[in-house]
Amino acid sequence: MKQLSAEPFKSWFGYTRRERRSSFILLILIVAFAGVRFIIPKRDTKVEMIPLGKWENSGDTLQVKKSKAIYLTKDKSMVFAKDKKLLDINTSDSASLEALPGIGPVLSIRIIKFRNLLGGYASVDQLREVYGLSEETFNLISGRVTADSSCIKKININQADYKQLMRFPYFEKYEVSAILKYVEIKGKLNSMSDLVDNKLITPEKARKVGPYLEFGK
């Protein structure tokens, strides 16, 4: 029986022995990588947030109490969320403020300038009063900042002079004149009630300036 020769195939493909070996190895690698995709299922790591106190597993002794938030992936592995540190607008510098979304050099300077006029922020909501800071920007940063009211520099209403009271942005000129005249005649103001009851300021204004006034000797 005549032996079948492979020479015609070699000449037809035009490959050398080394090229055929390389092509065969490459084909094996392609098949292997394609098979891995079907053999090993894709792992879904989509994260679902579970509020604190909602995580329970009666069949497990593990209890989570200290973390403020727990994240559970679909493969049931837990990921603990790190507490996000809030920026204190009463102590932060311009560089720190510029790191907030929507806050550039101009707005950071205005935030600090208004803070200095007030003597400190009593509430994050007061950022709405900063000139040029839009409601959209406020909504972006309000959840990232805090205001430590213990940093406020208070005004002693019984010792303050005209210049000091006029510098405070919440007082009108006529209110300053009325307050100083009352202190001159009566000697002192004892509480916020004295300011309101004697119609030196309105109740609405009293709520606004309350965190900034003190009535010591």
Domain ranges of the chain: 14-39, 87-151, 155-214
pLDDT score of 25: 79
Structure tokens at 120: 């400190």
Q: Are 169 and 121 in contact (CB under 8 A)?
A: no
Q: Tell me which of 81 and 154 has the higher pLDDT.
A: 154
pTM reported for the whole predicted model: 0.61
Kindly state the average pLDDT of the residues 53-70. Answer: 39
pLDDT score of 41: 57
Kindly state the average pLDDT of the residues 11-33. Answer: 68
Architecture of 87-151 per CATH? Orthogonal Bundle (1.10)
Percent residues over pLDDT 90 in the chain: 60
Give the C-alpha distances (Å, rounded to integers) separating 32 from 23, 24, 153, 156, 186. Answer: 14, 12, 71, 81, 95
Please list, in sequence order, all residues whose beta carbon lies within 8 angstroms of the beta carbon of residue 206, skipping any fewer than 6 positions away: 192, 195, 196
pLDDT at 74 over 70: no
Kindly state the average pLDDT of the residues 159-169. Answer: 96
Residue 97: count other Cβ atoms within 10 Å of its Cβ. 21
> Which pLDDT band holds residue 134 (cuts at 50, 70, 90)?
very high
